Amino acid sequence: MTFSKAELERYSRHLILPEFNIRGQECLKRSGVLVVGSGGLGTPLLQYLAAAGVGRIGIVDFDVVSESNLQRQVLFGVPDVGELKVEVAREKLQNLNPHIEIVTYPEKLTSENALDIIDGYDLVADGTDNFPTRYLVNDACVLLDKPNVYAAIFRFEGQVSVFNYMNSEGERGPNYRDLFPDPPPPGAVPSCAEGGVLGVLPGIIGSMQANEVIKVLAGIGEPLSGKLFIFDTLKFETRILEFDRDPDNPINGDNPRITSLIDYDEFCGINPIPNDMKEITVQELKLKMDQQDEFQLIDVREKYEYDIVNIGAELIPMKNILHEKERIETNKPVIIHCRSGGRSAQVILALEEEFQYDNLYNLKGGVLAWAREIDPSLPTY
């Protein structure tokens, strides 16, 4: 493998490292890394992998840039709002390093496409923010014998680990299911959109994730295999938890029970909205408003979300609504909404089960659908 004069100059600070030198740079150049998610973690990760000279970088993300991303996703700017993240990222990363290849997948990673996409890469870096995709990425990597460099962020804390890593003795390290055998109950861990995140945190953790990727590819140092690194930004404290392979791991333990990719929404308890739940579209709600129909509109998000954007509903946060049921009308239709329709559906199920309400309607798509289809001038988050 040869390097051009421009490449040798670009990577000169790598080449003078005794532990890295030209061999390490060759390892990066011949490697392919798939980055799942180009959000808070993905953007610093992508920038450092591209700058370091990873030869082929794939990006999986179906989302577009929004104003609320700019607080932490520093690869993007105001002119990029509304554009596909993967396309904006490709252009900017190619400008950062024209000597590498960027491949984009503007789609959601699913059980149907994950194996085909991941199979073309040497390593996967998981920067997603939901449990179904984390288990999906893990299982696909185990089935395909690929290392998985994991990172996660929440509010003021970040985590990094390396899963399914094969050491120099040919021993495969633990994976995500060894550390987290079971997903948390639905709604127990809010997403960044619901729970918030300190803007600088993904930059710190994404950079650490990039460091682990480079170490694995170049075969240097001691990757975080069998270790979970945790960083608390408020206290500026770090700790490392060690974990081993679990003989009862369902995908690669002593008696594997998972031999192909499964339905990860079902596994994580994220059930679709029941078919018999009464729903209303944002167009139907707009018509009711225009006709001044009699109904009650309730928003079950948190107050800080309501302060960002609201559509004139009465605010009763999800955590309070079962204790404030007297505020819910019983003699007229009650339309309940949240950001995208999930939390409002949970509220309706709980109210109907505990108090036998029969006049509740879920707003399909929530505030996001209203902003997208009725009033695009509204901010989203």
Residues labelled catalytic: 192, 338
Give the integer Cα–Cα distance in Å for 369 and 33. Answer: 34
Query: What contacts 293, CB < 8 A, 6 or more positions away?
Result: none
Query: What contacts 305, CB < 8 A, 6 or more positions away?
Result: 194, 339, 381
Pairing type for strands 157-163 and 227-232 reads antiparallel
Q: Which two tokens stand for residue 203?
A: 């930059």
Pairing type for strands 314-315 and 296-299 reads parallel
Give the integer Cα–Cα distance in Å for 184 and 191. Answer: 13
Q: Which two tokens stand for residue 291?
A: 């006709």
Under a CB-based contact definition with an 8 Å cutoff, are residues 367 and 339 in contact?
yes
Helix (H, G, I), strand (E, B) or coil at 110: coil
Give the integer Cα–Cα distance in Å for 357 and 354. Answer: 8
Q: Which of these, 45, 20, 26, lies nearest to 34 by C-alpha position?
A: 45
